[in-house]
Structure 1
């Protein structure tokens, strides 16, 4: 067969083999075997070399016993002339290597038979400007490769390099999809944290725990930034998360300052990345030396912000896709922090509402009763001085009645401040609350499911206010409390058959402190408050909260 035809057959066969697999190591082994078969060579091996210049023999075929000894130790350790030339950037094309240093060392150390192989051809593997590794081929007694042979090997190396780049891009897209799927689960779990955690440092610790649970980054940290100071608050490394209080200085702090100042993702140099852990060895235990890192600020209002950092132990551990995911993750964390801040703000507003309502109730009831009690006591003193015993006794009875009413009002207010525990259930707790005022409460429930604590407390307060209104204004001693739970919403109704409200208009609701408070509580939970009333036919207070 003519050499040109043989070359075309070789290239065609190699191309077909490369397109049959997306798994790197099996593909390289098969291609190497096919290449040696078609070129009538006997031995070959492929080294992949990473950005740190560390190498790995990922495929071999027909190695002589001298290179197979001790679990292929000669192929895993040491260096050689072709590797040195590659690392120095001098290996540009397929070349003849005069002799093989690995084989020479094997002979010198009596590691086994070389099958007469002393020399090999070396071909760099690359895709575009990206260097990947080395292909070596050899045969017994062959000390020189012709230009045509080297050209064929060079063409095969280009094919292998292109296939490896295709596989790398495919693997990168798979990893990108996997990372964003993990981000979705991370976000879902983080969203539940605002229900139980409101303190920012506690949330920062929770963020690190979830990053460790959902991602495979070797290192992650959340760092507090305030007035150009950078303090590591929580770190994930290896398999555990730990709280710290370590201040960063030097290149690492300058790198973080750039990220905060420019409000964007910034990659670290090796010196900047290593500064994240080099100063923390004694403070937080054994920490890996980082070779690469990304930092992104968490967009927050106020002078204090947070920076999330991920790090890699090797130069190639982190890729641009990791940075893309980190940017999205920081947005999710910012939303969680902001939600926690707003939730705390709502709690503070609720506390102020309770204080204002308590002050108003004290003024409208207990304060006026105590004033009447004081005036009655003063009048009684005058009556006793004038020996008007009968009138004095009547006044004392009035004082007794007033004090009992004041005590009842005070107990009611105390009950509002210290509600019955909700462990028994919302409806049962409201029933117990109403009975304290002499109301007969008829509980009715439909559906069973867990509801968030914030929703349960909001419904408790609304039901509490509605029962207060029944007690004070309806003129009846019976009320119905209904709770309906579905997959999408919780509905609470408080129903009485009393005198009703003359005009339950929006203006009247806004003018009423109690009804306004119920409406605001419902809307704060994303729900809707309505009141339906007909004069002398009763009132229905209904609250619908989406779940």
Structure 2
């Protein structure tokens, strides 16, 4: 029987190829046979991974947030970890292609040494960036403590020392009243600093109430009207999802207030295709994204992007001069049941 050119290519290609009908493998090439004989290859699980429905490393998707196999990959090239017969783990790259309504082609190949080296370099750069971000946060906190709390405490200390020189009862009463007011202001500074470090509403009440509290406070302090439209009910999300969403919102809103020259903003929070989607929109003066990306980090765009990508999310910024800016954050949802 004569073998066609396509069949010959299928058999001799170096990638492991599996022809799938429904969820059943109806044909595989020599490389696929070699792969199956050298590695634990539960095909049903691999197909779940290819479709974004499962994880090779964990039994449930709730545990799959930071592992090598994430839930938001591209089917044209998704990461895969297989266990060899000695119990070691090796990284592969897979692709999943629709042929017709029933048949699909699954392709698996071992990552080249260069690809693994590039991944190590990328991880190293990410660690360096995170460390630098921590240092920057410590620097800001140190400055806040020195210029804010320390100066307020020193001022109160001087006012308290002056009490012993006060001769008249009326003057003493006025100065005590002034010291009491300064203590109230100092307490407000401490509470504000604590809220900036970690908003208690985020831990106690959840993401939507924390956002409402933040936006209400910013409206009071800046005069900018911020319209918040939550299109989901008040549910709890994993801690990192809530924290990243809150911080990106905080950064985006402050950017619009500082740079866009607007008197109102629009914020929406929704769920789309198993992702939590946050949008911050203004109709301000806009900016040139390319110039900001190349020459400035003043808007914190890199920081927001790195936060999103740290858990497999994605951040997009669309801006046009005189038209405004739209920041969109997409984070994969990992539902948690909180009792």
Q: Provide the TM-score with structure 1 as the length reference.
A: 0.34
Bigger radius of gyration among the two: 1
Q: TM-score, normalised by structure 2?
A: 0.49
Say which structure, 1 or 2, has more relative contact order (CA 8 Å, 6+ apart): 2
Higher helix share: 1
